[in-house]
Amino acid sequence: MVTPSAVNRAGRVLRAWWAEEVERSPAVDQALEVMFEFRAAHQYPLGKANMGLRSVVQSEGCPMEISQRLKRAPTIVDKLFREPSMKLSTMQDIGGCRAVLESIEEVRAVERRLKRNRHPVRVYDYITTPRASGYRAVHVIVTYEDQGHVHRRIEVQLRTKTMHEWAIAVERLSGRIKDDLKGSRGPKPVLDLLAAISKAMEIEERGQTVPGELLAEMGRLRTLAVPYMGGPTP
Amino acid sequence: MTDRIKHFLIVFDHAKGEMAQLVEFGEDSDRAVAAYSAKEKELQGKDMVEIVLIGSDSLSTVKLTHANYFDGSVAVSKYLEGIGTSA
């Protein structure tokens, strides 16, 4: 099993490679192998977190729309590049679980029970304070032991269907135009439109009426954003 | 503990806007993770191709939780029309 210092060393090599400060070399290949091994160590605790989340969601009587994913290698390296002070060994979302729930009340109930069952490392409440991009959800970071009894951090994402709908559309568009729109990277007109849409969906989710000014603003932003949303030519 | 989770390796081609490959590994988590890393190495540098390993109780749940890789598997708000779908 790789040690945290070896993982962090690999992270530094991969960051320099991504920044094009160093060429692809055997040292980069070795760092990639360490990163793959480190990621693989999250699969077992991720499975445990998934089962734990299923149990919590079931106890709250909510529908079971839950899955897990291991973070993609390019996304791990890109995150290291974007956040220069981050150590690979402490990245919190290498393993992630997601539950899609019906309502904000369900999200809060699952969040409460989850926090009671397993003391979280951190909680990010993007419902009270959405990200600048418009992304809304609650992220609860918990730890589970891997097969070598090392505690691994796992990110649990709790979303309503409305929040999920927005996030899925943004993921699709991000893939097409090769930008991380959820992380506020991309053409400004597109980012502004997505943030305005998120606001409108939030208002409707709370049972209120979207003001005419916001509808008009979305119309204006959509016109500006359209030229950027086609993506690369096939 | 993980024996009820099934694993799915997805290769999505953003240039074509469609899934290029879907491999099911059943409950064999170790084999799924090894295949994930191998596929990422094989397709390294192909910017428009996204590879992801997802685990869930069924493929139909994956279609909901990771609907971005599947067509028409979640409802789309009127405000998102033309944004999450092919232009």
Q: What is the pTM of this model?
A: 0.92
- What is the average pLDDT across A11-16? 96
B55 CB within 8 Å of a chain A CB = yes
B40 CB within 8 Å of a chain A CB = yes
Question: Is the predicted pLDDT of residue B4 greater than 90, yes or no?
Answer: no
- What is the average pLDDT across B25-49? 94
Q: Which helix (H) or strand (E) holds A31?
A: helix A26-40
Beta strand A122-125 with A95-101 is: unpaired
Neighboring chain A residues of B62 at a CB cutoff of 8 Å: 67
CB-based contact A47 B1, cutoff 8 Å: yes
Over chain B, what HEC string results? CCCCCEEEEEEEECCCCEEEEEEEEECCHHHHHHHHHHHHHHCCCCCCEEEEEEEECCHHHHHHHCHHHCCCCCCCCHHHCCCCCCC
pLDDT (tens digit per residue) in A190-223 = 999 999 999 999 999 999 999 999 999 999 999 9
CB-based contact A67 B84, cutoff 8 Å: no
B8 contacts B62 by C-beta, under 8 angstroms: yes
Place A158 in a pLDDT band, splitting at 50, 70 and 90.
very high
Q: Which residue has the tokens 């809060």?
A: A108
- What is the average pLDDT across A115-128? 96
- What is the average pLDDT across B36-50? 93
- Provide the Cα torsion A170, A175, A178, A182; round to 10°: 30
pLDDT (tens digit per residue) in A165-182 = 999 999 989 888 878 888
Check residue A150 and give its pLDDT: 94
Check residue A233 and give its pLDDT: 41
B67 CB within 8 Å of a chain A CB = yes
A175 contacts B50 by C-beta, under 8 angstroms: yes
Instruction: Mutate one of A35, A51, A69, A78 to test the B interface: name it (highest B CB count within 10 A).
Output: A69
Beta strand A95-101 with A151-160 is: parallel
- What is the average pLDDT across B10-19? 92
Handedness of CA B59, A110, A97, A197 (dihedral sign): positive
Instruction: Mutate one of A14, A135, A168 to test the B interface: name it (highest B CB count within 10 A).
Output: A168
A233 → chain B, closest CA residue: B15
Tokens of A147: 């097969």
For residue B36, count other CB atoms closer than 10 A to its CB. 27
B8 → chain A, closest CA residue: A69
pLDDT (tens digit per residue) in B54-71 = 999 999 999 999 999 997
- What is the average pLDDT across A30-38? 97
Place A80 in a pLDDT band, splitting at 50, 70 and 90.
very high
